[in-house]
Structure 1
Amino acid sequence: MAGNLIARSLHDLTAGAWFGGSLMGAIGLNGAAAAAKDSTERTRLSSLGWKKWAPVQAGAFAVHLLSGLAIAWENKGRTAAQEGVAGLNVYKTAVTLAGAGVTLYAGILGSKVEKLAAEGSEGATEPKPGASDELKAAQKQLKILQWAIPVFAGWVIVLGARHGEMQRPKNVVQGLLHRAS
């Protein structure tokens, strides 16, 4: 029981870090970087901030996945017996992996933008007129991904809450009875 509480807490906290970090980055970091007086500093400062966050984000993902495996292992009997749990596990895993992929791709694009920082920009995700096609393409994609990432992370949190509701004794009994009938 204590192990499940620790794993569940870590699982929820790391999803919260993913959500909060990505939202703060999109609004706070990218927004503040856009205010730099020197246009070449805008993408450089934003990239620097995201690079500092990346190890924390990677660690949070690792703990999120490991704690998810621990939770799945502890609940394997209920997953097999209670209607809807296995399907929700698959769905949440798919959303988590898709979101992780989007986050990783955003990091790759961010590295590309950092390498092109000398071109200058209007903001972290807004190219300057006359920017190279490579910079424009990367920033255009990042402009969308900076909002897609917190959507995925929030979706994972909502699905985690749904898992918690399924563990209420009343819902476990209903799920077991429905599966048996």
Structure 2
Amino acid sequence: MVNPVSRILHDVGLAAWFGGTLSNAVALNAAAAETTSRADSGAVANAGWDRWTPVNAAAIGAHLVGSVGQLAGNSSRVANQKGVGTMAVVKTVTTVAALGATAYARVLGKKIDKHGAVPVTDGTTPSAATPPEVAGAQSQLSALQWAIPALTGALVVISAIAGEQQRSTAVLSGLVKRVTG
């Protein structure tokens, strides 16, 4: 049986991780272009991401604690109900990929941040005057800004499927299929 606190931590943490990174990709990075100078664009994007980082870290931590709690609470289902083990593996691999992408994005963000207010077009688009190291990091962040919400969005979908597997009819059907082959 899954502790309700684990489910809440899992869901709220994942919602913040997904929603925050999607919002920053859609709004913050683009809004940085609205400043009056190219140098300010980089500073604004850096400031926004620096403010988001501790919230994102807390969201990811809550999600991971909740995920471990859910896995522990569902350990017998994972072992005995057909399809649940596969779903758990897919979810774990997707989580690791999202964590890796998020960590790498933070490394790139810190690389950009250490250069201070450099001229950029927006949060992920260099200008002609952007230093090469910053431009390279921005190019990678341009893809990661969408990869992270895609991966965390996939986790939302996988979690919904996992929830469907907990319905009593799915549990009974899964156990029967496991026993009968």
TM-score of the superposed pair, with normalisation by structure 2: 0.95
Q: Any runs of at least 4 consecutive aligned residues in structure 1 with deviations exceeding 4 A, and if so which?
A: none
Q: Distance in 2 between matches of 1:24 and 1:85?
A: 32
One-letter amino acid matched to 2:103: L
Equivalent in the alignment of 1:179? 178
Give the conservation status (yes or no) of the 8 Å contact 2:32–2:41: yes
Deviations 1:139-178 (A, max 9, x none): 1001111011100110011000010000000100110000
One-letter amino acid matched to 2:26: I
Equivalent in the alignment of 2:122? 123
Give the conservation status (yes or no) of the 8 Å contact 1:165–1:171: yes
Query: For structure 1, which segment, 109-118 or 163-172, has the greater mean C-alpha deviation from structure 2 after superposition?
Result: 109-118
Q: Name the % identity.
A: 39
Q: 1:30 aligned to 2:32?
A: no
Q: Distance in 2 between matches of 1:128 and 1:20?
A: 28
Give the unaligned 5+ runs of structure 2.
none
TM-score of the superposed pair, with normalisation by structure 1: 0.95
Give the unaligned 5+ runs of structure 1.
none
Give the conservation status (yes or no) of the 8 Å contact 2:120–2:129: no
Give the conservation status (yes or no) of the 8 Å contact 2:42–2:118: no
Give the conservation status (yes or no) of the 8 Å contact 1:41–1:117: no
Equivalent in the alignment of 1:143? 142
What secondary structure does 1:129 align onto? coil
1:3-152 to structure 2, matched below 5 A, reads: 4-152=3-151
Shift of 1:29: 1.1
Q: Distance in 2 between matches of 1:23 and 1:70?
A: 26
Shift of 1:49: 0.9
Shift of 1:111: 1.2
Equivalent in the alignment of 1:169? 168
What secondary structure does 1:122 align onto? strand
Shift of 1:38: 1.4
One-letter amino acid matched to 1:172: V
